[in-house]
Chains A and B, each alone.
Chain A
Amino acid sequence: MNGQTSHQQSKDGRHDDDAALTEFLASLMDYTPTIPDELVEHYLAKSGFQCPDIRLTRLVAVATQKFIADVATDALQQCKARQSAVVKDKRDKQQKDKRLILTMEDLSRALREYGVNVKHQEYFADSPSAGLDSVSRDE
């Protein structure tokens, strides 16, 4: 008896999920993802993904857009956290607020949580002795 009721509930729950999913896929046709369909199809075909259904292509495009948006949000938070730590006076902070720039440092910190390790060179030097003290250079 108890098993039957739980089975009934799970069936109803699944029906709701199916209905929500069908509605979602239909709404995807109205929502244009930022990445164009042809571009997404090109990358999908490159990796062996075959599907004639265009809604699934849009689903993949939206998933990628969400991923990039999440990464960008995290990088933005890193950028703002760094700015709030370096507050000199009110005027400086307002000027900096207008120009939020995506830097490699913020990006690598944001991507590290997603399992992507991005490291880049801090600087490039002309010669091995560039930037050293004059004492060590003489030696």
Chain B
Amino acid sequence: MRRSLRQDDKPIEEPSPLPESEFSFTLTRVAVAQICQSMGFSGAQNSALEALTDVATRYLQAIAKLAAASANSDGRTQSNLPDIIVALEDLASVQGFPGFSSTRSVSLYSSPVIKNLMKFVNYTDEIPFARPLPPRKKNFQGAKGKLLKYKGDWDNSRRYYLDGDGWRHVPRWLPAVPVVERKENGAEMKQEVKWGCLDGRGEREDENNINGQQTYPYIHECLQSKLENKKIFYKSVHKKITLDLAIRKNR
């Protein structure tokens, strides 16, 4: 792991990779320690800090669970602002807050929970996290769903359908779609959709040679007729098909 973000001159050692739960726990502990320091504590017992961090992670997960449950009870999969407010009210009901008795009669947006949060944000200074975190490795799409930089013809169109981890046309709550094969297959499938002349092309290579050879000349004709318009796109397909033909002939 590159440590280009370090600023001191000590020799860089490769740390052993932590299991995932410990990694997030360590990061949360740093954040909680910063909050305690901003409140006025100059130090903390190790066990006390870990207990408080555990409470923090459980609180976070409790908000998430309650908000998700509230959304699911409405038949939604994605939570929105009223869901979060309901969750926060449930969690704050342990200690109580002013106006709790008349909460549900008025709009959720006027809940004192949110008002307290607004006051907190207004009156408290920012405490940025101690160290910058390494950037994420996945395709990060950004808050507004911007497309990644334009790179090539079919690259961009394929990336349009990639939405971080999943595909845009596949709902997120479904299990992961099995990984499709390499981009040659993708290009061929696209051609199948466009032309309808690749009926036999989806078959595997270990099937009958006769079927494969019969479809090849037809594809070749399609390619020749429209080649001047989309030379770059179909050239790769053409190459793959001729390569396959060469391989079969050599066998």
Chain A interface (Cβ within 8 Å of chain B)?
A: 10, 13-14, 17-18, 20-21, 24-25, 27-28, 31-32, 34-36, 38-40, 42-44, 46-54, 56, 59-60, 62-69, 71-73, 75-76, 98-104, 106-107, 111, 113-116, 118, 120
Task: Please tell me which one of the listed residues A27, A40, A62, A102 contacts residue B48 in the complex, with CB atoms under 8 A apart.
Answer: A102
Of B32-40, B196-204, B229-237, B238-246, which stretch is located at the interface?
Answer: B32-40
Q: How far is the CA of A36 from the CA of B129 in the complex (A)?
A: 7
Total A-B contacts with CB atoms under 8 angstroms apart: 179
Q: How far is the CA of A137 from the CA of B133 in the complex (A)?
A: 56
**Which among B35, B77, B91, B126 has the greatest number of chain A C-beta atoms within 10 A?**
B35
Q: In the assembled complex, how far is the CB of residue A9 from the closest CB belonging to chain B, in whole angstroms?
A: 12
Q: How far is the CA of A56 from the CA of B41 in the complex (A)?
A: 30
* Residue B59 is within 8 A (CB to CB) of chain A in the complex: yes
Chain B interface (Cβ within 8 Å of chain A)?
A: 24, 27-28, 31-32, 34-36, 38-45, 47-49, 51-52, 55-57, 59-61, 63-65, 67-68, 77-81, 84, 88, 91, 94-95, 106-107, 109-110, 114, 116-118, 120-121, 124, 126-129, 133, 136, 143, 145, 172-173
CB distance A104 to B47 under 8 Å? yes
CB distance A101 to B107 under 8 Å? no
List chain A residues, Cβ under 8 A from B42. 98-101
CB distance B126 to A31 under 8 Å? yes
A-B contact pairs, 9 of them (CB 8 A): A20-B118, A24-B118, A43-B57, A47-B65, A67-B59, A67-B91, A68-B56, A68-B59, A102-B44
List chain B residues, Cβ under 8 A from A72. 35-36, 39, 41, 52
